C-alpha cells in the first residue's frame, strides 16, 4: 500500500490526506484520498506519463465505453442536443466556438448551426478522423488553434483527467477572445450517491484511475481563481431518481427512466431540483471569463 507521507494535496500542499475508499474501478491499485485540510479529493498514485499515454491510446476507450467513433456519436447525440439547448443563450451567429476533448464531434455537430464556426481539439486519432469525415474542423493539439480568437470554449468532462489543471487553464486563456467565455463541466464529488447514499458497488465504480481529481463547487472555483478567471459555478443533475434506486437495488448502473411508469414528471423534477439546490447533484459546470482585474499570467 502507498505510503501516506508521499502524498500532498494539489490544491493546498498539505501532506495529511486520508484514504476514503478501499477500491476503484476494475480493481486497480490506486486509491481515492481526501485532503484533511481543504477537502480536495484525488486518486493516488496517479499514472506515470508513460503509463498514462499507453492507457489513453490502448485501454481507455475500450475499457470505459467500449464504443467506436460511430457508436459514441450515435449514443451521445441526445446529450449533445441537451448541451446545446442548455447553453443556447451564450451562442450568437458571430461566435467562434472551440471544444477541448470533442471526441467524435457530436456536440460540435449540434452546435454549428447556431454559431459562426466550430473547432474541436481531440487526442484520440480515430475520433479525429471520424469528426473530419463528418465535415468538422478537428485538430490534434491545442497548439494547432489560433490565440486570442475563441468567443466560447467548452470542456465537457475533461478537466478531471488533466494532470495540472491550474497550469492548463492558465495556458488556455490565450485562446479566448478578450470577452470570451470558458464553460467547464465536471462530475461533482458531492454527488448524493457518493456523499449521502454511499453504496459500496457504486463507490467501487465511481472512483477511477482516469480521473486524477474530483471537483466540488469549492475546488472547481478555486482552480479557476488560481488560473486567473472569474467564474460562477452551476449545479446540474444528469441521472434521475430511477437510476439512484437501481444502484441501491441491483448495485450497478441502470440508465434512466426505469420507474417512469410510477414516477410522475413532477416527482422527478422535485428530486432533481432538491439535489441541485443542495449542490449534491452529480454534475457541476462553471461559466468563466478572464479575470482582467487579477494577475493575468502569460
Q: What residues line the site for Zn ion (CB under 5 A)?
A: 9, 11-12, 14, 35, 37-38, 40
Q: How far is the CB of 227 from Zn ion (least distance, A)?
A: 17
Q: Which is nearer to Zn ion, 226 or 256 (CB)?
A: 226
Calculate the alpha carbon distances from 221 to 158, 165, 246 in Å.
16, 12, 32
Torsion of CA 104, 107, 112, 113, to 10 degrees: 130
**H-assigned helices in the chain:** 49-54, 60-64, 69-86, 106-111, 125-133, 165-172, 192, 200-206, 217-226, 241-250, 265-277
Residue 47 DSSP label = P
Q: How far is the CB of 11 from Zn ion (least distance, A)?
A: 5
Q: How far is CA 60 from the centre of its chain?
A: 15
Q: How far is the CB of 203 from Zn ion (least distance, A)?
A: 21
Q: Which is nearer to Zn ion, 19 or 117 (CB)?
A: 19
Contact 150, 175 (CB under 8 A): yes
Q: How far is the CB of 96 from Zn ion (least distance, A)?
A: 37
Q: How far is the CB of 14 from Zn ion (least distance, A)?
A: 5
Q: Which is nearer to Zn ion, 17 or 288 (CB)?
A: 17
Residue 87 DSSP label = T
Q: Which is nearer to Zn ion, 38 or 245 (CB)?
A: 38
Q: Which is nearer to Zn ion, 14 or 256 (CB)?
A: 14
Q: Which is nearer to Zn ion, 13 or 146 (CB)?
A: 13
Calculate the alpha carbon distances from 194 to 10, 55, 199, 271 in Å.
21, 26, 7, 16
The cell numbers describing 243, all together, are: 437510476
Q: How far is the CB of 22 from Zn ion (least distance, A)?
A: 21
Amino acid at each position: 500500500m502507498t505510503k501516506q507521507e508521499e502524498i500532498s494535496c494539489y490544491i493546498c500542499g498539505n501532506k495529511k490526506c486520508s484514504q476514503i475508499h478501499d477500491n476503484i474501478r476494475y480493481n486497480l491499485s490506486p486509491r481515492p484520498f481526501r485532503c484533511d485540510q481543504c477537502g480536495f479529493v484525488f486518486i493516488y498514485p496517479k499514472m506515470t506519463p508513460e503509463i498514462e499515454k499507453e492507457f489513453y491510446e490502448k485501454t481507455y476507450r475500450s475499457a470505459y465505453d467500449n464504443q467506436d467513433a460511430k457508436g459514441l456519436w450515435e449514443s451521445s447525440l441526445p446529450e449533445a442536443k441537451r448541451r446545446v439547448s442548455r447553453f443556447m443563450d451564450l451562442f450568437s451567429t458571430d461566435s467562434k466556438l472551440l471544444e477541448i476533448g470533442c471526441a467524435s464531434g457530436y456536440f460540435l455537430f449540434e452546435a454549428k448551426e447556431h454559431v459562426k464556426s466550430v473547432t474541436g481539439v481531440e487526442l484520440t486519432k480515430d475520433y479525429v478522423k471520424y469528426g473530419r469525415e463528418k465535415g468538422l474542423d478537428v485538430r490534434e493539439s491545442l497548439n494547432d488553434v489560433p490565440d486570442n480568437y475563441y468567443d466560447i470554449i467548452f470542456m465537457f468532462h475533461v478537466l478531471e483527467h488533466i494532470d495540472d489543471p491550474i497550469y492548463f487553464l492558465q495556458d488556455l486563456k490565450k485562446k479566448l477572445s478578450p470577452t470570451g467565455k470558458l464553460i467547464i463541466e465536471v462530475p461533482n464529488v458531492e454527488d448524493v450517491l457518493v456523499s449521502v447514499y454511499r453504496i459500496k458497488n457504486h463507490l467501487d465504480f465511481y472512483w477511477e484511475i482516469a480521473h486524477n481529481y474530483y471537483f466540488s463547487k469549492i475546488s472547481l472555483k478555486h482552480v479557476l481563481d488560481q488560473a486567473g478567471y472569474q467564474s460562477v459555478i452551476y449545479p446540474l443533475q444528469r441521472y434521475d431518481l430511477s437510476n439512484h434506486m437501481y444502484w441501491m437495488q441491483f448495485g450497478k448502473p441502470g440508465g434512466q427512466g426505469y420507474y417512469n411508469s410510477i414516477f410522475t414528471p413532477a416527482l422527478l423534477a422535485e428530486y432533481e431540483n432538491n439535489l441541485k439546490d443542495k449542490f449534491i447533484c452529480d454534475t457541476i459546470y462553471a461559466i468563466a471569463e478572464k479575470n482582467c482585474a487579477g494577475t493575468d499570467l502569460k
